[in-house]
Structure 1
């Protein structure tokens, strides 16, 4: 048990402990942050596997954070259960134990490592030249959070200049923002609109920036300018009750002069927080608006929240809603999402109540739901907000509101699922099985979420086996308890497995399961088990055969030894399929391959797979 403040490297420390204990190449399972000691004591663990609970809240019982016989007994049960299964667990939390810590489990006060050692270790491991290592260590500014130091070291290891990297973290951003806001005269509406627009939409071109700023200024005008009755000019008459003017002869009927165009570019040039940047794209360049220092964005949002009233934030909420409705550019959506994530550090309730909940309910359509999911994914990249994002989405998953459930499915299928895969599998299955997805499009969204979670875990090089293991467990349970047809739950597991095995990578279009088979040879058995279950269920057999053919043909593109991977999958299928199914599968797969010829330049992995089936068939007496 590691206790200490957030942002001090406890997560990395927990992973390092597991790697030293279980092994550097072993997987570790991330458990829910609000899991209780009773749940841990009753959980079945796998031998020689590492488990980690990040930023545990201890909400399962008040006694868990208080020393005493009861707390020690609960911890002892958890320890004994882990020993019984030969597993290992590390828990991190910001909440220390009141009084004397339980004796059954060691509670360690986490002490972050020296920052210079963190930089040096990471750069040496990346084989960075020694002179660059020394420049990086000596140029590091004091007071940097350990997460910033780790990110900077990663960028330097990738080839960035140390001086330029550390320049972004010199600590001058807070002072620059304070000086900009604390001038004698209040900043004008236009200046506030400039920094607000950039806070939520950095890195966009001038024309798009000015258009967004113009919309925001119109919404902010009622906040900054109270409507006043304008006195009539000298010599003019005031309209009567009927609207008729008793103007004297010679009334001035001249047309009003045209207003001078707003010169936003001149104003932007005077704004010390903003600058333009030329981004190179091949042979072309693009001028975009950025903060003079990347760290300014966070501090500008903090100052805006501190100094501006509710009416201002009401206008910002309406403005962002209009932007989300009108512009479907994914880059702009991501910028808005990252801005809301930064605002969440300061005003989490504001972000949830004004943006996440309404957008997740579909107030701004599918685009709003997508941006809400982006915000949650950004939160998962930061140690301080990941657990809060999980709690919020779990509430949506239990809701009866269809749009909230749909947004929860999307959130769990992405970075939230990669951060908390155990919770993602649990809640995706709960939503899918609950029967609330009665419409066909909602049901397909639930199945698609499972496929996307598997794809995300494969893309992130995380343990995607948790998805397959969950489906295999349910199918095994179905086969043990039913002797004839599958139940509705069993059929749902089979259909979900088919969706997972047909999920394709975003760029290459290849099945993600092909890369999974190539990267994790030991997992061929569970893949074959799921495929065998689908092949034996005749309504899904044709689709399962087609998916198997596409996957085997994709192996040459994902591994340098595709025939070995194909043979391994073939042997695994032989082990789980009944003997009578072997010649039938070989025959059907061969005919399907002939009808869909592959490129002659690639190894014939389908023939290798069929050969594995035939060799076993020939070895059995007829």
Structure 2
């Protein structure tokens, strides 16, 4: 896990909340989140943009066409667009890419568009000729501001208007000679549009998928037969493909299938289906662990005790309690009832032995975690997969009153301001619950927390849930739609939560959408107070810092700012508009975003890692340097950035010289001597201990040597 913080313009400007940004798979209580192991990738790559060759090869390696493939390919070739519908796990993603390869050829570019894109946007988009486009898991929904329910947009509703909008999209693709495949889990209610074919997608035959991969890897026939015979029933195609790949790499077939199917569903079914009904205490044990794995015994027992008190009215009705009391008080001729009542009272006075009960619970065990020279005993499920199945069983078998008690319990934990580890555990538990009860998670937790009903901790937890959702391909689109709904709301706290969400993992997964909605929230009149407006500026800086930190394309942020500044410069008559000034201020915040541990500006690392983008960086520096009210802060930020180059690259002088030449081209000629003089004086007034080459002198030297080559 990486620790991220809001950068601001100055590290000393007040108290800023520190959040836990995570960009890759997470492990909490031995429960795995994410789509890849840490060894495979440092974090989840963004879900939109150009598909590279490695991604395409991974998707189409030993690809087996399902029976519906040829029908879809003919439709895509004929009309330029086809929609694949069906549940998750049927291979729609790889099918979409395979269809494009079949139609536009293997050498064409394939571009993944946002799942939140609307039909109007597609109909007005400029497509590149010969390029294949994909929209994966398109939501096709829009939420009403201030509510949690999602409804189909007018463009997606069945009927004549839907057919008209789909026809516009189809005609736009034909006009630009491009092709588009859309996948969605939502079928078309009512009468399907005639303009665009919505084709139910079926997975390929599973044993063919396994055989193709293993034969290609030259696995012995005996092993191939064992692998095919061991395919679990109703196994998703993605799981089958992954297991086949592991077997091709040398894993034993029985072990590979065991790790994917496992015994967790059966163990949970046997535990909940025992002849003797589970007690309140046992239900509280598994519920507590489902939302708080990996904590110590004392903390676990405290959480369990609170939950038991809230669950008491659910499991002990007033009628039953009254009957029990009446039966205990009924006297007999010998007065034995009074004595039995005293013994019962003494028994009730004994401490509740939760540890003995936990030791008898087959689903729960302890784990020793090493912390430096010490160890710590924590409570975990006996199998990591048990957590998901326990939540599934609890949701399936327990009434609304039980889930109301769980909601009150989690709200009490949030109000107590839990430590970051417990916050992440609660968020990951809600993410798992969202797989089977998404409406419950949104309506009972995410929306109220995002509105600020549980303070900053609730907002943080709501965002953490969205970030966890982004680590799983099946939920990322839903997280984007929910955050977009908050960004469109008129509720200022909801919009602030959306800023927070888009500046972290959600922005990593959908950077283009993040830039769009961060700007939309920032420029609206809702953020009138300075501190609220400051949150918007800081969110831009945090997104840039996050993208640089996880080695994703932070240039998306800079390109968006450069585009808006360029548009402003082309249209303004004498002075920047209010929108133009906001862009300049946002740019300065981005350039002053610093890494929390090192204190180095993120833009220094970006300049060192992306030499091809020196011109864009220089254009942005030139814009804020030429705006006099921001010049002083811009000079200070430029000085810090240039001095930070030796710490982030082995050749800092080359990076400084490259930026100096780019600044010479971007700045008006009259600004060259001013920048040389002012930056030089500032460097002298703020001396530092020499730890490398003088990059400031190198930058100014390159600026001066190039000024005559680039007259303005």
TM range (shorter): 0.7 to 0.9
Distance 1:272 1:202 in 2: 15
Does residue 401 of structure 2 align to residue 305 of structure 1?
no
2:184 to 83, 87, 93: 93
Distance 1:338 1:550 in 2: 38
* 1:117-136 matched pairs, under 5 angstroms: none
Aligned residues: 593
Pair 197,158 (structure 1): closer, same or farther in 2 beyond 3 Å: farther
Distance 1:478 1:491 in 2: 9
Residue 469 of structure 1: how far off its partner (Å): 1.8
1:291-331 deviation digits (Å, cap 9, x = unpaired): 11111111111110111111111110011111112143111
1:559 to 640, 646, 649: 649
CA contact (8 A) 1:341 1:378 kept: yes
Distance 1:454 1:389 in 2: 20
Does residue 176 of structure 2 align to residue 79 of structure 1?
no
Pair 68,26 (structure 1): closer, same or farther in 2 beyond 3 Å: closer
1:1-50 deviation digits (Å, cap 9, x = unpaired): 562542345446667999998999999564243421x4223224579988
Aligned residue number for residue 450 of structure 1:
540
Pair 478,620 (structure 1): closer, same or farther in 2 beyond 3 Å: closer
Aligned residue number for residue 271 of structure 2:
180
Distance 1:404 1:166 in 2: 44
CA contact (8 A) 2:203 2:237 kept: no
Distance 1:118 1:334 in 2: 40
* 1:272-287 matched pairs, under 5 angstroms: 272-287=362-377
Aligned residue number for residue 658 of structure 2:
568
1:267-301 deviation digits (Å, cap 9, x = unpaired): 11111111111222343222111111111111111
Pair 323,233 (structure 1): closer, same or farther in 2 beyond 3 Å: same
> Partner of 2:553: helix, strand, or coil?
coil
Distance 1:22 1:503 in 2: 43
Aligned residue number for residue 675 of structure 2:
585
Does residue 278 of structure 2 align to residue 196 of structure 1?
no
Pair 162,469 (structure 1): closer, same or farther in 2 beyond 3 Å: farther
* 1:182-581 matched pairs, under 5 angstroms: 182-227=273-318, 228-229=321-322, 230-231=325-326, 233=329, 257=346, 259-581=349-671
Aligned residue number for residue 127 of structure 1:
none
Pair 70,349 (structure 1): closer, same or farther in 2 beyond 3 Å: closer
Distance 2:286 2:669 in 1: 70
Distance 2:399 2:272 in 1: 15
Distance 1:23 1:153 in 2: 24
CA contact (8 A) 2:163 2:193 kept: no
Gaps of 5+ in 2: 1-81, 141-152, 333-340
1:329-380 deviation digits (Å, cap 9, x = unpaired): 1111111111111111111111111111111111111000000011111122
Aligned residue number for residue 241 of structure 1:
none
Pair 559,366 (structure 1): closer, same or farther in 2 beyond 3 Å: same
Aligned residue number for residue 136 of structure 2:
54
Pair 159,581 (structure 1): closer, same or farther in 2 beyond 3 Å: farther
Residue 429 of structure 1: how far off its partner (Å): 1.2
CA contact (8 A) 1:75 1:102 kept: no
Pair 531,154 (structure 1): closer, same or farther in 2 beyond 3 Å: farther
Pair 161,361 (structure 1): closer, same or farther in 2 beyond 3 Å: farther
Please, what TM-score do these two structures have when normalized by structure 2? 0.73
> Partner of 1:169: helix, strand, or coil?
helix
Distance 1:592 1:367 in 2: 42
Does residue 118 of structure 2 align to residue 35 of structure 1?
yes
Residue 215 of structure 1: how far off its partner (Å): 0.9
Distance 1:177 1:253 in 2: 39
Please, what TM-score do these two structures have when normalized by structure 1? 0.83
Distance 1:435 1:356 in 2: 25
1:600 to 690, 693, 700: 690
CA root-mean-square deviation? 4.1
1:425-464 deviation digits (Å, cap 9, x = unpaired): 2221111111111111111111111112222222333322
Distance 1:29 1:8 in 2: 19
CA contact (8 A) 1:22 1:88 kept: no
Pair 320,69 (structure 1): closer, same or farther in 2 beyond 3 Å: closer
Pair 457,604 (structure 1): closer, same or farther in 2 beyond 3 Å: same
Q: More relative contact order in 1 or in 2 (CA 8 Å, sep 6+)?
A: 2
Gaps of 5+ in 1: 125-129, 237-251
